[in-house]
Amino acid sequence: MIGAFTALASQFPPTESARDDGLLCIGGDLRPERLVAAYSRGIFPWYSKGMPIIWWSPDPRCVMPLEGFCLPARSARKLRLHPFELTHNAAFGRVIRACAAPRDKEGGTWIIDDMMRAYEGLHALGYAHSIEAWQDGELVGGLYGVALGRAFFGESMFHTRPEASRAALAGLVALLRQRGATLLDCQQETPHIMRMGGVMLPRAVFQAELARALAPQTQTGAAQNCATPEMAGSGLPFPWLPWGLVYSYSPAEGFWAARS
């Protein structure tokens, strides 16, 4: 399937040809091969029900520097007093459906059924992942996104209790650091992300960072955390982060471990 990724990636227009609002092109499909090819170019789909598939490459691009992430003092204090249990890949389907729940008065959402099926397919293939925040056994927050090489592309988050989505993002940052990732793409600027350390990168800078994050790694040092043993150092352009297991997070240690 690697060859399919490369061929499909070349079918997208150059990202620098995107409109000022970031719209790059329209059409295509949401097959796993096309989605992975798009993300490898820094392109993502975003559209509403009844519209054709629209592909975007914003300039500038919002990213979260992994070493620059910082919870607001008030949030950090609340999370210390009322911590959440965090897991990884324990309830992907529930997370994406919670993210898809309408949040505006018109009842609209961009995570339509076709999008949910597409990302559930990516999850089954090992590309899409979720972080869950639990309290009293109830799923109260979370996020999901796509992992390629040492890059993670955040897609959406939700919360039903205060601070739950911030807790999930803090857990994701800890997991990415632990796995040797170098790029956390947040796609578009939001006050929520910017308050926690998000920065805006010119498209050319973002593309350079993405290229470094997708560069094949040798199986040494932190690179062991970036690709499965059979893929690390193989020269394949799309190593998976080894996230097939379900993990739990220890806030006291700041460390994720496989669940027994």
Checking if the pLDDT of 226 tops 60, the result is no
- In the predicted model, what is the mean pLDDT of residues 225-245? 39
Residues 204 and 210: their CA atoms lie apart, in Å, by: 10
Local confidence band at 56 (pLDDT 50, 70, 90 cut-offs): very high
121-179, pLDDT tens digit by residue? Answer: 999 999 999 999 999 999 999 999 999 999 999 999 999 999 999 999 999 998 898 88
Q: Classify residue 131 by burial, with Cβ atoms within 10 Å: 0-12, 13-18, 19+.
A: buried
- On whether the 62-258 domain is CATH 3.40.630.70, my answer is yes
Comparing 2-57 with 62-258, is the CATH topology the same? no
Q: Classify residue 52 by burial, with Cβ atoms within 10 Å: 0-12, 13-18, 19+.
A: exposed
* Domain 2-57: CATH class, spelled out: alpha beta
- The pLDDT of residue 241: 42
Task: Spell out the domain ranges in the chain.
Answer: 2-57, 62-258
Residues 172 and 180: their CA atoms lie apart, in Å, by: 12
Q: In which element (H, E) is residue 69 found?
A: none
- The pLDDT of residue 2: 44
75-116, pLDDT tens digit by residue? Answer: 999 988 888 999 999 999 999 999 999 876 555 578 999 999
